[in-house]
């Protein structure tokens, strides 16, 4: 990756495609079924237009905010990306370090290839733990206790993954054969790995196909990669679970995967400190509206009682500004930094963050708005 040639997130995407075997790139890049929702996430931002205040001097723009009482230098957090160690060696630690250096938070996926303690140690900023209820309550409770002892600032409970979405690219490009470690079945797909020798060398130097050291099962130890699909089918969260989750976790809880206003109100009643409007980047149920389209209804439903964040489809700093104008406290970025991680490790993630930060400042100056706290619906058409 040549940072001086990386102008936008699409450039990072193309660099990631050049760096990764197809099976790994499609894991980052793909969505569920026909990928209708994934595309709609992008189109929704295109339909929102700005109404700038002109002849306004805006020499500086303040991007600082707080999420659940946690101070951030920019209004975007790094979303949980499972299996980031497949993109780049020690991927979760590398991304967390870049987030901390930028003054923002990193959210660690349950399905991390790195120990949560090591990820927290790698970052100088706040870290949050994303939680799937894999295993039994004892497994999840142990993970939460470890995270609290390591200094994690908040818990992010994902509620939109009763089962894994059907990601058709994964069925076509050899991901099942890779996970199941069946050499004979992998033969038709070997060429894509041999075509990326640098990735292949890093992959084996980093230990090859990982386990999940934060999901420690009573009888077998760390969860194997091949067991993820079956575990997710037993990991669905109900509103009744929030009583014991609240008892187990001492700190802010964010509920991720909210689509509907009534579910947002349920999250308020369950004691959540924030909700994240999210369709999982179009990777779960295809055919749902874009997250940005659902955002205003959720903001109105919670009526200021808790904070509202959103994710899915963010590729530019102007996208973040639009989300904030529509009522989001902050946003989560996923693919945007995942491409950077795959393309260039720490430098790639840092470049993704810098692109979005610089885009935001330029957009806000052109809007005539000096602070993210002053963004509102008057700035959009």
Catalytic residue numbers read 280
The Cα 98–Cα 351 span in angstroms is 9
* Cβ proximity of 309 and 274 under 8 Å: yes
Give helix then strand counts, H and E, for the chain.
17, 12
* Cβ proximity of 259 and 294 under 8 Å: yes
* Cβ proximity of 282 and 325 under 8 Å: no
Tell me the three state secondary structure of residue 105. coil
Paired residues of 254 in beta bridges: 156, 274
b/e map 307-346, b = 16+ CB within 10 Å: bbbbbbbbbbbbbbbbbbbbbbbbbbbbbbbbbbbbbbbb
Q: How far is CA 187 from the centre of its chain?
A: 32
The Cα 131–Cα 119 span in angstroms is 15
């Amino acid at each position: 990756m040549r940072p001086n040639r990386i102008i936008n997130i699409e450039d990072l995407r193309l660099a990631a495609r050049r760096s990764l075997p197809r099976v790994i790139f499609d894991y980052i890049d793909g969505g569920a079924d026909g990928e209708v929702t994934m595309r709609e996430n992008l189109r929704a931002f295109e339909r929102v237009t700005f109404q700038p205040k002109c002849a306004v001097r805006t020499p500086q723009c303040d991007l600082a905010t707080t999420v659940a009482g946690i101070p951030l230098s920019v209004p975007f957090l790094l979303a949980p990306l499972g299996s980031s160690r497949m993109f780049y060696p020690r991927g979760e630690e590398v991304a967390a370090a870049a987030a901390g250096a930028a003054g923002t938070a990193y959210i660690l996926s349950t399905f991390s290839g790195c120990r949560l303690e090591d990820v927290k140690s790698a970052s100088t900023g706040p870290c949050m733990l994303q939680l799937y209820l894999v295993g039994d309550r004892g497994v999840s409770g142990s993970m939460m206790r470890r995270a609290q002892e390591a200094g994690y600032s908040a818990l992010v409970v994902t509620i939109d993954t009763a089962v894994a979405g059907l990601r058709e690219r994964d069925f076509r490009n050899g991901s099942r054969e890779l996970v199941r470690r069946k050499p004979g079945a992998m033969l038709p797909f070997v060429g894509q790995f041999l075509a990326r020798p640098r990735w292949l060398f890093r992959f084996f130097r980093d230990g090859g196909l990982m386990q999940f050291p934060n999901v420690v099962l009573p009888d077998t130890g760390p969860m194997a990669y091949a067991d993820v699909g079956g575990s997710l089918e037993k990991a669905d969260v109900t509103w009744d679970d929030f009583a014991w989750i609240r008892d187990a976790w001492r700190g802010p809880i964010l509920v991720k995967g909210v689509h509907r206003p009534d579910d947002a109100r349920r999250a308020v009643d369950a004691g959540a400190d924030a909700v994240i409007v999210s369709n999982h980047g179009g990777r779960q149920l295809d055919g749902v509206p874009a997250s940005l389209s659902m955002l205003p209804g959720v903001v109105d439903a919670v009526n200021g009682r808790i904070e509202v964040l959103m994710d899915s489809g963010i590729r530019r700093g102007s996208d973040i500004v639009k989300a904030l104008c529509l009522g989001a406290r902050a946003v989560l970025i996923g693919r945007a930094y995942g491409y950077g991680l795959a393309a260039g490790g720490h430098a790639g993630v840092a470049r993704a963050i810098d692109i979005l930060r610089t885009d935001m400042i330029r957009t806000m100056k052109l809007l005539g708005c000096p602070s993210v706290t002053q963004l509102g619906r008057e700035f959009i058409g």
